[in-house]
Chain A
Amino acid sequence: MGLADFFKRKSSGNVAKDRLKLVLVSDRANCSPEIMEQIKNDIIAVLSKYVEIDSDGLDIKIGQTESEGNNGSVPALFANIPIKDLKSPKN
C-alpha cells in the first residue's frame, strides 16, 4: 500500500458509521422490501396515467433529509423515475 493509498483510505470506524446510518434509516422507517415493491408499483400505475415511464429504470429508496424548522433529519422517499415520453399515452 503506497503512501497515497494510505491517506485515501477511509477509516473502518467511519465506514461502520456510514453503513449504520443508512441501515438504521430503513430499520426505523419499518419498511419491508414487499411494501417498497407495492409503493413502486403504485407509483408506476399513477404516473402511467399521464406519461410513459421506464418501469425497469425506476428506482425508489428510503433515505434521509434535513427537515425544515424541526432540527434534525427525517426519513424521505427518493424516487428516480426515467420518463420515456412526456406526452400522455392516451394522446
Chain B
Amino acid sequence: MGEVIVVTSGKGGVGKTTTTANVGTGLAKLNKKVVLIDTDIGLRNLDVVMGLENRIVYNLVDVVEGNCRIKQALIKDKRYPNLSLLPSAQTRDKSAVTPEQMMKLSDELREEFDYILMDCPAGIEQGFKNAIAGADRALVVTTPEVSAIRDADRIIGLLEANEMKQTHLIVNRIRMDMVKRGDMMSIDDVVEILAVDLIGAIPDDENIVISTNQGEPLVGSDTLAGKAYMNICNRILGEDVPLLDLNIKSGLFNKLANLLKKN
C-alpha cells in the first residue's frame, strides 16, 4: 500500500512545486514507484517544472469526471521509468473536484504506487482541502520570512484540526551568509517558532532556477540543493541522515570571482 504525501505551505511562491518535483523525482531515483499529482486546478505548473508540458492529453478533472481512465491521464516520465505525473486542468477551477473524489483517487493510486505526492495550491480554501483529503503525511514548506512562517503556522493548525497523521517541515531558501550576519532567521529559529519536526532545509541555490528553466529536477545532482533534496527523500524512506552543512565552501577562486563581481 502506497503512502500519500501532500506538499503544502499556505503562502504562494515558497517552493511547493519545486519541492514536489524534486522529492518525487528523488524517490523515483531511489527505486520507488512514484506519482505526482498537480492539484492546483486552473494554475497548472508542475508539468512545466518537470519538463512534461508537451505530453498532456488528459488531466485530473478528466479522471475525476470519468472522461478517461487513470492510466490514460498519467504521463510516464521517460527519464525515470518509476515516475508518473497526473497534470492539473488549466481551464477549470478548484470547485471541479471534491475532497471525497480526491480520497477515492488516492486510494486507487495506493494500489499501484509506493508514493503519491500531491502538489497543493496556495491558500486554505477548497484547493487545500482537496489536496490534504487523502494524505497520510504533510510536508509543510516555508522560507525564513515572517509572511511565509505565519502562513505555515496557520496551515499546521489546520492540518492538526484535520487529524493529519504526520507533519514535517521543510525550510526553503536559506541563505547562510545572511543567517551568519543575523539578518535572516536560522533553521533552528524557524523550527522553534513552528514547533514541528524538521525533515530538511534547502539552501537558496541558483541551480534551482537553472534546473527549472530546463525542466529537469536537480535532486541528486552535485549541487547543494540537489544534495539537500536527496537527503529529504532518504529521510522520507526512514533513514537517519544528518543535516547537510549549507555553508558554501568558497575557495580562493570563488573569493576572487566574487571580488571581481563586486567591482
Q: Which residues of A contact B (CB under 8 A)?
A: 11-14, 16-17, 19-21, 23-24, 27-28
**Chain A positions within 8 Å of B157 at CB level:** 28
**Chain B positions within 8 Å of A12 at CB level:** 182-183
Assess whether A17 is in contact with B189, with CB atoms less than 8 Å apart: yes
Known A17-B189, A17-B193, A24-B193: A11·B150 in contact at CB below 8 Å = no
Contact with A along B174-197 (1 / 0, CB 8 A): 000011011111100100010000
Known A20-B193, A21-B193: A13·B184 in contact at CB below 8 Å = yes
- In whole Å, how far is B181's beta carbon from the nearest beta carbon of chain A? 7
Number of interface residues of B (CB under 8 A): 17
Assess whether A11 is in contact with B146, with CB atoms less than 8 Å apart: no
**Chain A positions within 8 Å of B154 at CB level:** 27
- In whole Å, how far is A34's beta carbon from the nearest beta carbon of chain B? 19
Residue of B150, B153, B186 touching A13 (CB-CB under 8 A): B186
Assess whether A20 is in contact with B183, with CB atoms less than 8 Å apart: no
**Chain B positions within 8 Å of A13 at CB level:** 178-179, 182-186, 189
Chain B at the A interface: SS class? helix
**Chain A positions within 8 Å of B228 at CB level:** none
**Chain A positions within 8 Å of B150 at CB level:** 20, 23-24, 27
Q: Which residues of B contact A (CB under 8 A)?
A: 145-146, 149-150, 153-154, 157, 178-179, 181-186, 189, 193
Assess whether B182 is in contact with A20, with CB atoms less than 8 Å apart: no
**Chain A positions within 8 Å of B179 at CB level:** 13
Complexed CA–CA distance, A71 and B145 (Å): 27
Chain A at the B interface: SS class? helix
**Chain A positions within 8 Å of B185 at CB level:** 13, 16-17
Complexed CA–CA distance, A19 and B185 (Å): 12
Q: List 13 A-B contacts (CB under 8 A).
A: A11-B183, A13-B182, A13-B183, A13-B184, A13-B189, A16-B145, A16-B185, A17-B189, A23-B150, A24-B150, A27-B150, A27-B154, A28-B157
Which of chain A's residues has its CB closest to B184's CB? Answer: A13
- In whole Å, how far is A16's beta carbon from the nearest beta carbon of chain B? 5
Complexed CA–CA distance, A33 and B181 (Å): 37
Residue of A14, A17, A19, A28 touching B153 (CB-CB under 8 A): A28
**Chain A positions within 8 Å of B189 at CB level:** 13, 17
Complexed CA–CA distance, A21 and B149 (Å): 10
Complexed CA–CA distance, A24 and B153 (Å): 8
- In whole Å, how far is A62's beta carbon from the nearest beta carbon of chain B? 15
Assess whether A14 is in contact with B182, with CB atoms less than 8 Å apart: yes
| Additional A-B contacts beyond A19-B146, A20-B146 (20; CB < 8 A) | A11-B181, A11-B183, A12-B183, A13-B178, A13-B183, A13-B184, A13-B186, A14-B182, A16-B145, A16-B185, A17-B189, A20-B149, A21-B193, A23-B150, A24-B150, A27-B150, A27-B153, A27-B154, A28-B153, A28-B157
**Chain B positions within 8 Å of A16 at CB level:** 145-146, 185
